[in-house]
């Protein structure tokens, strides 16, 4: 996960000697199975390593964590919390990590301003539902969706697939970030 690791290192470089004692993050589109925790565990382990390496947070060099698990309200959050109930997430058995379910679409506002230090989404295909709004009068969205689905389903590297994915991801990211000042 080189891009993720580079991003976390950049956050630490920007923080200099001041890193929050409670680090708050969200997994947007967390799903409900065991894979939901894989990236969270990696992020928490990496943050603790960076804190230790940089002597942040005092003697134990480890912040407390608040992790928000976000998905649509139909997600089986009960299954997710049963999966993690009583388990320590990651290598550090003394980790202080508090997990919360946060149902809702991240196309709308989920948190108050200045609540989170880090947000990520492991998967982007679930965003496709927002590209096609059912309007027959919107051929560009229809073309993006059909190109994406065709490229994904046939596993062929058609030249128009990559630009369509980049364009769709840019639109979605900008719209989502606009809702979270």
Tens digits of residue pLDDT in 15-46:
766 778 888 999 888 877 777 778 888 888 88
Interval 10-16 mean pLDDT = 79
Q: Give me the pLDDT at residue 89, please.
A: 61
Start-to-end CA span in the chain (Å)? 27
Residues 87 and 160 grouped into a single domain: no
Interval 108-131 mean pLDDT = 73
Q: Identify the H or E element spanning 32.
A: none
Residues 80 and 100 grouped into a single domain: yes
Residues 117 and 138 grouped into a single domain: no
> Range of 156's domain?
127-178
Interval 166-178 mean pLDDT = 69
Residues 46 and 106 grouped into a single domain: yes
108 CB-side CA count, 13 A: 7
d(CA 29, CA 121): 6
* Of 38, 63, 43, 181, residue with least CA distance to 123: 38
Residues 94 and 114 grouped into a single domain: yes
Q: Answer whether 27's CB lies under 8 Å from 62's CB.
A: no
Average pLDDT, rounded, for the chain: 73
């Amino acid at each position: 996960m080189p891009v993720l690791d580079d991003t976390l290192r950049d956050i630490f470089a920007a923080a200099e000697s001041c890193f929050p004692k409670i680090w708050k993050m969200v997994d947007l589109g967390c799903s409900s199975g065991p894979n939901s925790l894989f990236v969270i565990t990696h992020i928490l382990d990496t943050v603790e390593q960076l804190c230790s390496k940089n002597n942040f947070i005092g003697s134990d060099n480890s912040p407390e964590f608040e992790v928000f698990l976000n998905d649509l309200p139909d997600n089986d959050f009960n299954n997710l919390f049963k999966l993690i109930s009583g388990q320590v997430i990651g290598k550090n058995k003394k980790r202080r990590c508090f997990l919360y379910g946060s149902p809702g679409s991240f196309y709308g506002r989920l948190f108050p301003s200045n609540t989170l230090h880090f947000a990520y989404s492991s998967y982007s295909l679930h965003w496709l539902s927002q590209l096609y709004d059912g309007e027959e009068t919107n051929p560009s969205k229809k073309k993006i969706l059909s190109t994406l689905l065709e490229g994904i389903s046939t596993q062929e590297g058609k030249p128009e697939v990559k630009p369509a994915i980049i364009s769709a991801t840019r639109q979605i990211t900008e719209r989502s970030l606009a809702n979270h000042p």
